[in-house]
Chains A and B, each alone.
Chain A
């Protein structure tokens, strides 16, 4: 079957390509909703290193998507099943190292074509079925939710068990999702949000408290913290966390920065802190995310507040429209309705 692939050829320029997709051992999914991530924007706008762009493009973007099974040779799924596709593509198994940290793994929209395709061919082991009544616009960004689930799961295995006060730095999408999940996965903890935009902070109504980073209460200290800032905000966020955190606290770093970040190692040593990074997620994290959606229906309800722009993709020119619309947003996700 001839599959149509929409690849980014160079910054701000898409092209159409065709590839034969065999109908055989793998499941074929028709993408329905695609969600744009900042990582996609870094390719689209050409803000990645020129060498990286030259190596990776042309490539189909998007690693956050849901779709409908249109062909299945597997008893696990049948046509018309709604599924979320896991964008991580492991090529080996390791006893100790999670699939999303194996250097041999590929990732959609980074080292392999992403979901901007007419059809996507995938092994049944890399699919997770969606609950019947879930809002597809919310389900579209399950991947980024699974990244938070992954970070919190690892945090639970690493951090000490006094978790009375947990801080989350950042007032963007990742912070919103991580703090929302913390209120469910650690219901006895007080979740404090630290941000720079009062309007955005007002959206975190489920949190115990929100604070402007310029106006943090003097006596406030935290057991543990999550950094969801990234980019040029990373250094100051990590600095503040190290200042506020109590001894032997754990700091989870999720924000992506293109630049090296100086860290106050003296205080890390003095307080005996643990810093750990997380990146992406694996199939188990997707499974856990869907379980959480079913266990706490208010999670997808709250996440629906992140659905910012919806762009109908009916023809080729709409692709550019969606990415340009996404650039202009302040908070929230841009969802593409994949009709093309």
Chain B
């Protein structure tokens, strides 16, 4: 079975709108989260779409899903965890409890604030996770990546052609991911920035799926303006 795991746990601090998490901000009168969930509703392969939000926002999320969605019986809303990966573990625990977790259970995890994800990206994620066990959506890095280990001086400049920018979805065989995560030390867990890194630390292959430049993450007010202009500017430039 395949599940969509929509990560809507952000609290909106980076957006500068502390009261409303960014996934609930609206574009053209509809919350960003709704656009994102709708994209997953169109893939029949998903047994369930699991939306994980901050605990205080679970009811609000259910309310707006009812208000905007056509098929909300396919969606479950549950509280997220303290970190991104704890949130994913909550989703896996939910799957285990409500369905059955086996070696072939696949989760497609996606940022709720990337509403421009495409049908192709989701489809390729499902296929790659089934075939390779894990995959990450990326685009080739357009800027040169500079590494600094002391935040003062450059320590290295990796070859740009080997560099990619990570997007989401990231997709996994759920059971293996949870087993790997549980086997990490606290020190290892502390340096995780995303779930793909769990696999990398454990030496598991992670297949690359081609993303899109416009599969943007709406993190800052600037991103929201871009998203609004992309969607609202239908008369073009």
Interface residues of A (CB under 8 A from B): 1-2, 4, 7, 9, 15-20, 23-24, 28, 30, 58, 70-71, 73, 79-80, 118-119, 314-315, 339-340
Contacts and interface: CB of A to CB of B under 8 A. Distances in A.
A58 B43 CA distance: 29
Contacts of A4: 116, 118
Given A2-B35, A2-B231, A20-B231, 16 more contacts: A1-B38, A2-B115, A2-B116, A4-B116, A15-B236, A17-B234, A18-B231, A20-B35, A24-B70, A58-B236, A70-B42, A73-B70, A79-B44, A118-B118, A314-B120, A340-B118
Interface string B12-34: 00000000000000001010000
Interface residues of B, number: 23
B42 A28 contact: yes
A254 to B, nearest CB: 35
Interface of B: 28, 30, 35, 38-39, 41-44, 69-71, 115-116, 118-120, 210, 214, 230-231, 234, 236
Contacts of A24: 70
The 8 closest A-B pairs by CB, nearest first: A1-B38, A23-B70, A70-B42, A79-B44, A18-B231, A18-B230, A2-B35, A2-B115
Contacts of A73: 70
B35 A1 contact: yes
B44 to A, nearest CB: 5
Looking at chain B's contact residues, the main secondary structure is loop
Contacts of A28: 42
Contacts of B119: 30, 118-119
B230 A71 contact: no
Contacts, number: 60
B43 to A, nearest CB: 7
Nearest to A73: B70
A73 B210 CA distance: 32
Contact of B43 (A2, A23, A70, A339): A70
Contacts of B231: 2, 18-20
A16 B214 contact: yes
Contacts of A2: 35, 39, 115-116, 231
Nearest to A1: B38
Contact of B234 (A19, A118, A339): A19
A2 B32 CA distance: 10
